Structure 1
Amino acid sequence: MALRKENILIVDDDIDILELLQRHLKSMDFHTYKAISVKEALFILKDTEIDLLITDIQMPEVDGLQLLRYANEHFPNMPKLVVTGYPSVDGALEVIKSGAIDYLTKPFTKEELKTSIAKAFSHKPKTASPQSKKENHANNRYADMVGESEAFHKVTNIIERVKHNKATVLIKGESGTGKELVARAIHYSGKYSRAPFIAVNCGAIPENLQEAELFGYKKGAFTGANENRNGFFQAAVGGTLFLDEIGTASLAVQTKLLRALQEKEITKVGSQKTEKVDIRIIAATNADLQDDIKKNTFREDLYYRLTVVEVNVPPLRERKSDIPLLVEKFLRKYGVEYKDRLLRIAPEALQVLERYHWPGNIRELENIVQRAVIMSDGIIGVKDLPDFLKFQIEFPERGFVPLREMEKEYVQRVLAYTQGNKTKAAEILQIDRKTLRDKLGQ
């Protein structure tokens, strides 16, 4: 099996330097990622396994030293190199203290770069083999998903088994649980990752247009069909077609979907000619399709064709141990986007999030973290969370209480507070003593 090319991230606000470095690195058979700012670099580091970081120091807004410090704590095993056009002894010392292996001064030769890269990789810890590194990485992260719960690992184990083949998959789960993330993980983690991934929300397409949008149409097939047009099936050839909310597909579309799955061929609207399609279909639903079958709104034979492999994505309330990891992921995402820095959450605020039941699942959690990042001035605390998450006092049902009785009860509480002093009570209530007696019924 061929070894994976090392991924090198280059960070520099000078486009010419980026292009030069990329040409040199490609000629050395490395795979490169480019970023023109620290913010862009953080997005790449968040989503990609990087083997070496090469960064400039002098950059606008956030400099390369801060990126080095961040990478040193979050990716301690990833070697770092610095290239700079502003050399100084103090600067070099600061760079090395920040975790860089070597320090290259612009302009530098290709051989100097090659020597520095070799030096950087020689410093990379060798305590874990590539396979064990992969396994450790997978303990709490898979593609763009994070988790450490048993429920999370059940899902990722299924992904591991199906990602390299084109078996049809049905993903079930409540709204907001991340069904599309599972579909994308299946596609992008497997050997077909370079092929198209086309996501279609069936519920967002009007029923009378579903067939034409999915399978395409011939010119003149219906009013407004002024040209031949391919559908989502043709766009996804060789790759994956993700059909979200499959339960909303019309019965006519379900019939054509069944044929596409059985015969691996489709027919455009208005055409008699069939077209072969090499495609993997992943469908998703938050509905009970078995119930829809009983109501005759979903075909039973299509259901069994779709469920060659079934993935049940658990609701967040069943994987609460994953909340800290999810919060960390969203803090990283929105902290960089809105505040140009990474934010932390106070333990007591995290406890509030962990005790909530999350009817909106991960999508609801992401929205709340996003809001908290916007509202926070520093470490996210309980004050930055919406009130409905905080402790609520549940009062017993009292039924209808006359206003006069409620008023009398309030006056009695004020009187108790003043230890029976009616003059003080009247002052607090801003009424005279006679009115006070009337309200007490005396």
Structure 2
Amino acid sequence: MRSKHRILVLDDEPNIVEVLITRLEVLGFPVQGCTSAQKALDILRKEEFSLLITDMKMPDMDGMEVLRKVKKIDPDLEVIIFTAYGSIEGAVRAIQQGAHDYLVKPFEPVELVVKIESALEKRELKQRVKYLEQEVEDRLDHRIYAQSSAMKRVLSLVRQVSQSDATILILGESGTGKELIAKMLHYESTRRHAKFVIVDCGATPSSLIEAELFGYRRGAFTGAVKDKRGIIEEADSGTLFLDEIGNISAEMQTRLLRVLESGEFRPLGDIGQKKADIRVLTATNVDLKKKVDQGLFREDLYYRLKVITIQLPPLRERKEDIIGLSQIFLTEFSSKTGKRIEGIDREAMDLLLSYHWPGNVRELKNIMEAAVVLCTTGTITPEEILSSGIFERTGNVPHQELNILDTQEKELLLQALKKARWVQKDAAQQLGISRRVMHYKIKKFNLRPERSD
């Protein structure tokens, strides 16, 4: 810990500064010293330190004034003040003004080390708290990035309905961020201090969902050796988010409808009803209305779930968000891997912008993670983007829509190439893309000049 924390020592007596520097360097601390308060302030404006050790009384500026000025420069800088026995009152005032601690001259070296370690631990704790607070903010805000008008409309609707207890059905393709929207609805509601519980109805076998949601009594079925509270009871006063709601069985649909209408449920094996005060949010990437028409989903439950509907646009319909989301994921994975990657070059970004994104934001995140891992320079290039097989994917984009998009893109490329007499550089210039991206597009669509007979 010591080697990463720089310490600045300030005292108008050079011999004291020298002694402290020597002692602290032996202990493994990077130390710098000065005998002028003004010089110390100048240093702090230009360089980063974790701790300032300063004398209380100096000819050009007293310790209290130094403290006030350094806290304006760096509010997180820890300060320890030296004081003579007769000026302890001033040291106490300094602590009240933000100093970490004080030392009375003369002091024992071990006392100095203890106070330094305490100050540095406090600084690390504050930095950790700040980091975690920022991380929470990032998770709730930055991941739901919205520069496109389509996504801005979604977030506006979310904020408008978050205070309501109405059931909300969130629709969207896989990877569009339905769970994040559900979290936002919870954390911006009056229920935010209670639990937010997620049940993935697509990943949980239907035989287990009932027991998980409603709980059970001992002996209710084979393996039920003790009573277990259900998720609905656990989520009391909070929010229950049922993802992939279209996968639940007919029996579960009936039981869920009862919960929504009366707030009552019955644990498996129990003879009595229980009540729960929960808000229910659901999500799906399938056409529930079609399932209703096919007799696979209860119509009354369908309308009960969709009191309010939030439709999330696929990433291909919010192209304006791709640049910002890419930068966010780049920063996240650069930090995790310890790599210093400055950005994404224009050709790589052109590739990201031209792709259809069948896996939506989740796919973009995965591709950026792979690109960061593979990057050996300070910039993401097309090579890192293409290594993920980005152009081979079709995912869950409707086949007809994908064909239309590809046909339109292919036609534009052919028109530009014919106009440029198949000179790739000129065709790329017409379309506003780089030669490298043009080369990739020609390869993607297997384009060749027509042979003249």
Structure 1 residue 106 and structure 2 residue 79: aligned? Answer: yes
Flag the structure with higher helix content.
Answer: 2
Residue 385 of structure 1 deviates from its aligned partner by 1.1
1:383-418 residue CA offsets vs partner (Å, 9 max, x unmatched): 211254443423379xxxxxxxxxxxxxxxxxxxxx
Mapping of residues 126-137 of structure 1, within 5 Å: none
C-alpha separation in 1, matches of 2:162 and 2:202? 26
Q: Is the Cα–Cα contact under 8 Å of residues 85 and 105 in structure 1 kept in the other structure?
A: no
C-alpha separation in 2, matches of 1:198 and 1:262? 20
Report what 2:446 is aligned to.
395
Report what 1:183 is aligned to.
182
Residue 233 of structure 1 deviates from its aligned partner by 0.8
* Distance change (3 Å), C-alpha of 1:105 and 1:263: closer
Report what 2:42 is aligned to.
93
**Secondary structure of 1:385 counterpart:** helix
C-alpha separation in 1, matches of 2:246 and 2:205? 14
**Secondary structure of 1:158 counterpart:** helix
Q: Is the Cα–Cα contact under 8 Å of residues 143 and 185 in structure 1 kept in the other structure?
A: no
1:141-169 residue CA offsets vs partner (Å, 9 max, x unmatched): 93631121111111101111122232211
1:229-281 residue CA offsets vs partner (Å, 9 max, x unmatched): 01111121111111000000111111111000000111101112111101011
Consecutive unaligned residues in structure 1, runs of 5 or more: 1-12, 15-57, 65-83, 118-137, 398-442
Report what 1:259 is aligned to.
258
Report what 1:242 is aligned to.
241
Report what 2:206 is aligned to.
207
Structure 1 residue 384 and structure 2 residue 420: aligned? Answer: no
* Distance change (3 Å), C-alpha of 1:88 and 1:313: farther
* Distance change (3 Å), C-alpha of 1:259 and 1:114: farther
Residue 316 of structure 1 deviates from its aligned partner by 0.2
**Secondary structure of 1:311 counterpart:** strand
Report what 1:225 is aligned to.
224
Q: Is the Cα–Cα contact under 8 Å of residues 169 and 308 in structure 2 kept in the other structure?
A: yes
Give the share of equivalent positions with the same residue, in percent.
38
Report what 1:358 is aligned to.
357
Residue 114 of structure 1 deviates from its aligned partner by 6.0
C-alpha separation in 1, matches of 2:273 and 2:346? 60
**Secondary structure of 1:363 counterpart:** helix
Report what 1:194 is aligned to.
193
**Secondary structure of 1:391 counterpart:** helix
Residue 208 of structure 1 deviates from its aligned partner by 1.4
Residue 313 of structure 1 deviates from its aligned partner by 0.5
Equivalent position amino acid for 2:45 in 1: I
Structure 1 residue 59 and structure 2 residue 30: aligned? Answer: no
Single out whichever of 188-197 and 255-264 deviates more from structure 2: 188-197
1:325-358 residue CA offsets vs partner (Å, 9 max, x unmatched): 1011101111100125454111221111011110
Q: What root-mean-square deviation, in Å, do the aligned CA atoms of Structure 1 and Structure 2 show?
A: 2.9
Q: Is the Cα–Cα contact under 8 Å of residues 341 and 380 in structure 2 kept in the other structure?
A: no
**Secondary structure of 2:165 counterpart:** coil
Residue 205 of structure 1 deviates from its aligned partner by 1.2
Consecutive unaligned residues in structure 2, runs of 5 or more: 8-28, 49-70, 82-90, 100-136, 391-439, 449-453
Equivalent position amino acid for 2:155 in 1: T
Residue 297 of structure 1 deviates from its aligned partner by 1.2
C-alpha separation in 1, matches of 2:193 and 2:340? 32
Give the TM-score normalised by the residue count of structure 1.
Answer: 0.62
Give the TM-score normalised by the residue count of structure 2.
Answer: 0.61
1:113-151 residue CA offsets vs partner (Å, 9 max, x unmatched): 66469xxxxxxxxxxxxxxxxxxxx9xx93631121111
Report what 2:451 is aligned to.
none
1:78-125 residue CA offsets vs partner (Å, 9 max, x unmatched): xxxxxx9956457753542369833545336785466469xxxxxxxx
Equivalent position amino acid for 2:217 in 1: K
